[in-house]
Structure 1
């Protein structure tokens, strides 16, 4: 039976099931937990231990449960699902909010519609793989949608991608948001050389290999330019081998805000996204961004910036041209940075995101509050 308190929107207890313990998903969840704790909701988080996320949500006063889960499906899936089932029984949530593909898989297998479930892909699983694996991922997403009361997308483009793959669901779209005060800056940087910064996990999704392929053409136009890659990941070794002396690897950092402030231009040449967080953070810092035209990119940019700042994915020549154009025109950079900052303030404040997600919870609690549901099997 659904807990009686679930019919009261002000007293919902939510369990966030999250696999990525770092990166953009972790930042989104940490911001949601902060907002939900401030609003008086009961909040528990199941996530990998000893991660940025576990530390952040524990600092917010949330109930944290260690969930040892890897990014990819494999032989450990049965154990990971059973472990999450035990956590769901222990927490007894009124609502489960599953973030990313692995948590979405395990949580929906565990709950199977018995209590209200929100699934937030943060970019679709079938975009990350190819061939037979992609076909299987699409099949699962179509099947698994029956066990989500709501699929929560971070952009209209992400929702359209799901629909095009045959996923039939009750949808909500809530754009990502950022802490505009945290990322505020006091004006353009004063770098001795034009500096491009890319913040993101060093992996195929984020496209740093495309950026390094474009970089020689950028140097041909702006010889003094410097590139900084902020982050770590499975592709780090290969990227280091492909980089020249004008490229710096900053590694994983606890606070990305100083790197945005140090940038003349921030770039993210992703192959796929839902709506990337890094460009929003960069724009909150008053920096112009160059991004690939993947899901969420057009929705995140000021419309007038698209001709200058949006490039086709996996197109080093177009990427180099966009970066060279901005690096060679300081006044254009500064104007775009001011406009980007105003755009984020008006449309992508994290408080707006938190309120919109709370509205989704309230709607589900109202719809499901009077319904009978069998308990999770012991």
Structure 2
């Protein structure tokens, strides 16, 4: 079995070691990702890049296709952002030429920057980054960032086979949850020695009291922060709201996010007669969390949810599906329900709305646990410690 995270005291000792100058020898880190739109992985990359920069490490963010809201945040923090120009449109001769040009640009950029570490996030970043790193033909440490389970990703056998080959030439895999690490070990066959679990981190601001957003309703407010994609299971939340309405227990659902499922969800909400507010994507969600009676995440698959983490930091009671790393966050500190089960979702929401004392106690327990285990400094320290260890191994070899 993959080992769970080390105790907080160990992380504290590592942090003290960093403060005594352990960063020496780590000159440059390149972080590779597909795009910089609003999303959990993008937020974590941004936090990591900024904190590494503050510690005196040269940081470059390499973006395969397009920038987004986090691009400006990175630039303001002094982090260089390089847009490589890969396309995402349907394939064809022109798109093939464009992507080959972008790939050559990536290889050339790696040769120019000569980073000590290339940390590639998500599936496409890992697949493209691994090949580019080897073609760059200079020694660097290649780290793959696993952020979720493959239920709704790379399901085809040939993709998995290719990923196994790429992982063999990867120095290390970082998973953001024990469940994600276990899948890498069992499904992909990654040796346990090549896998580490580093939880996502939260900045201190996530624990600050926020001014609640104004939601004009007399009903309980249920907030869900998620991209409007099928994997997030939002249709089951809308179904649950319909069940509560039919039981005479109406609620107002606030969906914070944007995506391809919006039209379908709007039609579903209209057909059921439920009050669902679509407020679009927001990089900062604290105000919406502050106005929530209950926060819900009905995902069908997750890694370690930033939305759940931020709700915990805000002290909000959470109902979420028991998938991926979510039980690691909420076991004993929230209400866990099966995936794709609107009846269980409705019962979980009603349970917390009906019992304010239970809701408050779960919210307080979640906040306390998040403060101890989801600390941004610990997350960054663990990455730096891993980078150093891998660099020392490579130099010794």
Tell me the TM-score normalised to structure 1 length: 0.88
Return the alpha-carbon distance in structure 1 between the equivalents of residues 266 and 83 of structure 2: 33
Return the alpha-carbon distance in structure 1 between the equivalents of residues 286 and 163 of structure 2: 35
Q: CA deviation at 1:223?
A: 2.8
Match for residue 120 of structure 1 among 141, 145, 151? 145
Secondary structure at the aligned position of 2:205 is classed as coil
Q: Kindly indicate whether residue 171 of structure 2 is the aligned counterpart of residue 143 of structure 1.
A: no
Return the alpha-carbon distance in structure 1 between the equivalents of residues 316 and 84 of structure 2: 37
Q: Give the structure 1 partner of residue 6 of structure 2.
A: none
Q: CA deviation at 1:127?
A: 2.3
Secondary structure at the aligned position of 1:152 is classed as strand
Relative distance call for 1:252 and 1:189 in structure 2 (3 A) is closer
Q: Is the 2:319–2:349 Cα contact (8 Å) retained in structure 1?
A: yes
1:214-253 CA-to-partner distances (Å, cap 9, x unmatched) read: 2211223463411000010121111111113410000012
Secondary structure at the aligned position of 1:182 is classed as helix
Moved over 6 A (4+): 186-191
Match for residue 229 of structure 1 among 255, 259, 276? 255
Secondary structure at the aligned position of 2:365 is classed as helix
RMSD of Structure 2 on Structure 1 (CA)? 2.5
Relative distance call for 1:9 and 1:70 in structure 2 (3 A) is farther
1:344-363 CA-to-partner distances (Å, cap 9, x unmatched) read: 10111111111111111111
1:259-281 CA-to-partner distances (Å, cap 9, x unmatched) read: 11111111111111211111000
Q: CA deviation at 1:128?
A: 1.8
Q: How many residues align?
A: 359
Match for residue 304 of structure 2 among 254, 261, 275? 275
Matches within 5 A, 1:215-294: 215-221=241-247, 223-244=249-270, 245-294=274-323
Return the alpha-carbon distance in structure 2 between the equivalents of residues 266 and 254 of structure 1: 17
Q: Is the 1:15–1:97 Cα contact (8 Å) retained in structure 2?
A: yes
Q: Kindly indicate whether residue 82 of structure 2 is the aligned counterpart of residue 57 of structure 1.
A: no
Return the alpha-carbon distance in structure 2 between the equivalents of residues 293 and 95 of structure 1: 34
Q: Kindly indicate whether residue 344 of structure 2 is the aligned counterpart of residue 318 of structure 1.
A: yes
Q: CA deviation at 1:287?
A: 0.4
Q: Kindly indicate whether residue 66 of structure 2 is the aligned counterpart of residue 37 of structure 1.
A: no
Q: Is the 1:185–1:286 Cα contact (8 Å) retained in structure 2?
A: no
Q: CA deviation at 1:365?
A: 1.2
Match for residue 178 of structure 1 among 202, 218, 233? 202
Return the alpha-carbon distance in structure 1 between the equivalents of residues 371 and 325 of structure 2: 17
Q: Is the 2:26–2:388 Cα contact (8 Å) retained in structure 1?
A: no
1:288-329 CA-to-partner distances (Å, cap 9, x unmatched) read: 11111111111112x3236xx111111111111111111222
Q: CA deviation at 1:10?
A: 4.2
- Structure 1 range deviating more: 256-265 or 217-226: 217-226
Give unpaired runs (5+ residues) of structure 1.
1-6, 372-378
Relative distance call for 1:351 and 1:202 in structure 2 (3 A) is same
1:119-158 CA-to-partner distances (Å, cap 9, x unmatched) read: 002114x42247xx52223212211111211100001110
Relative distance call for 1:78 and 1:122 in structure 2 (3 A) is farther
Tell me the TM-score normalised to structure 2 length: 0.84
Q: Give the structure 1 partner of residue 11 of structure 2.
A: none
Q: Give the structure 2 partner of residue 375 of structure 1.
A: none
Q: Give the structure 2 partner of residue 334 of structure 1.
A: 360
Q: Give the structure 2 partner of residue 102 of structure 1.
A: 124
Q: Is the 2:244–2:250 Cα contact (8 Å) retained in structure 1?
A: no
Relative distance call for 1:82 and 1:128 in structure 2 (3 A) is farther
1:157-215 CA-to-partner distances (Å, cap 9, x unmatched) read: 10111222133241111011212433422799997421111101110121112211222
Q: Is the 1:202–1:231 Cα contact (8 Å) retained in structure 2?
A: yes
Q: Is the 1:16–1:45 Cα contact (8 Å) retained in structure 2?
A: yes
Q: Give the structure 2 partner of residue 26 of structure 1.
A: 42
